[in-house]
Amino acid sequence: MEFIKVILKRGKEQSLLRFHPWVFSGAIQSVSGDIEEGDVVEILDSNNNFLAMGYSQIGSIAVRIFSFERVIPDEKFWIGKIEKALAVREKAGLLNNPETNAYRLIYAEGDGMPGVIVDMYNQTAVMQIHTVGMYIIKDTLCNALQEVMGSNLKAIYNKSEGTIPFKANLNPENGFLFGKTDDKTALENGLRFNVDYEKGQKTGFFVDQRENRALLEKYSNNKKVLNLFCYTGGFSFYAMRGGASLVHSVDSSERAIELTNQNVELNFPGDDRHQAFAEDAFKFLSHPKEDYDVIILDPPAFAKHLKVVPNALQGYRKLNARAIEKIKPGGIIFTFSCSQVISKDAFRKAVFSAAAKSGRNVRILHQMEQPADHPVNIYHPESEYLKGLVLFVE
C-alpha cells in the first residue's frame, strides 16, 4: 500500500527517534502529494529513511503518530492496539471488578491512539474523538472495539460533536454507533452514579478521580466537607460513605447540581447530611456557610494553552489562598489541577504562594495523580495532566 510521504527537514527527526508522537508543521521539508486532513502518511527523514506512520492534521501539530513501524492501519491493526489497552486495564484490576465498572479503556497517546478517548460505563463504551484522522475511521474503530470486548460490550455511543474541529466540515452527530441502552448507571468503588453521556461534560463522568476520591473517604469521618466544583458529586458521596457529618457540594452549573443530587439520592436516599448549591465557587468561599474541616478544590482546566499559563497560575493561587485562609485549624484540603500545560512543579509553587500569603503552617500529606487507566506514555510527557496535593493546614 502506498501512502503520502512527509519528509522532514535535516535534524528534525530527533524527537521521532525518541518516540515522541507529534510532528510539528515547522519540521516538515516537503510532502509527496496532495494531502487532506486525516490522510495516513509515512514520515521520512531528510535522507528518506523511514521514521514513523501517522495521520495528518491542520494546525501546529501536523502529524500524529500511531506507529513507529511500517503498518497497514486496518481493523486488525486497531484490534491489536485495543487489546494492549485492555491488557493494561486488566493488570490495573479494572476488569470484572464487582466494585468498579467505570474506567478509561483508551487514553489517546497514552495508549498509542492519538485523538481517541473511550470510557467504559458498565457495558457501554462512550467514544470521544478529537481529530479528523480518527473520526473518518470511526466505524473501523467501532468494529475493532466490538471484536475485542465481545459480549462485555452492549453499546457504543459516539460523543464527538463538540470535539471535532468544526472547520473540518464533518458535521459529527452524537449518537449510538452500535447497540443502544437506557442503562446509564455505573459503579465506582461500590458507589453508584448516573452517567449523562448524552448531555453531560466530557464522556459524562470524571473517571480520573477514582483513587483520589477513595483517599478522601478516609479523611471524612465526622468531618464537615465542602466539595467545590463538584460536577456530578463524585467526591461528595465518598465523603458521605466515609462518615462525614455534613457535605456541601457546589458547582456553577444547575445541571451539575441536579446530577449531584440524583447521585447522592442513588447511594444515600433521604440522607439529609448533604446539600448542593448552584453557585460560583470563588464567591461561595468568600462567605462559607460553615466552618469546614475538609475542602476539595477540583476546578476545570484554568489553562488550555501555553499562552494563558500566567493567568491560570494566578487563578490557582487565588483559589487556594482563599481555601487556606478559610479552613478550620487542623483542616485538610484536596487541591487539584487538570491543566495539561501546567506542570506539577508550577502547580505546587502556586499552592506554595497561596500558603505563604495566608501565613498559616501548611504540610503536604499526599501527592496525587491520574490513575493507571490514564497511562502516561513515557515518550510523551504531555499525557500527564492531573496533579493534586492533600494539604494539612494548622
Q: Which residues bind ligand SAH (CB under 6 A)?
A: 206, 209, 229-232, 234-235, 250-253, 256, 280-282, 298-300
Question: Least distance from C-beta 177 to ligand SAH, angstroms?
Answer: 25
Question: Least distance from C-beta 89 to ligand SAH, angstroms?
Answer: 20
Residue 382: closest CA among 133, 14, 15: 15
Of 160 and 337, which CB lies nearer to ligand SAH in the complex structure? 337
Angle subtended by helix axes 234-241 and 254-267, to nearest 10: 30
Question: Least distance from C-beta 108 to ligand SAH, angstroms?
Answer: 19
Backbone angles phi, psi at 357, to 5 degrees: -65, -35
Backbone angles phi, psi at 224, to 5 degrees: -95, 120
Question: Least distance from C-beta 133 to ligand SAH, angstroms?
Answer: 28
Residue 218: closest CA among 238, 233, 232: 238
Residue 224: closest CA among 211, 236, 213, 209: 236
Of 114 and 233, which CB lies nearer to ligand SAH in the complex structure? 233
Q: What is the largest CA-CA distance in the chain?
A: 70
Of 86 and 276, which CB lies nearer to ligand SAH in the complex structure? 276
Question: Least distance from C-beta 35 to ligand SAH, angstroms?
Answer: 37
Q: Are 310 and 282 a contacting pair, CB within 8 Å?
A: no
Backbone angles phi, psi at 221, to 5 degrees: -60, 125
Q: How far apart are CA 161 and CA 297, in angstroms?
A: 29
Of 145 and 276, which CB lies nearer to ligand SAH in the complex structure? 276
Question: Least distance from C-beta 225 to ligand SAH, angstroms?
Answer: 13
Of 3 and 336, which CB lies nearer to ligand SAH in the complex structure? 336
Of 143 and 253, which CB lies nearer to ligand SAH in the complex structure? 253
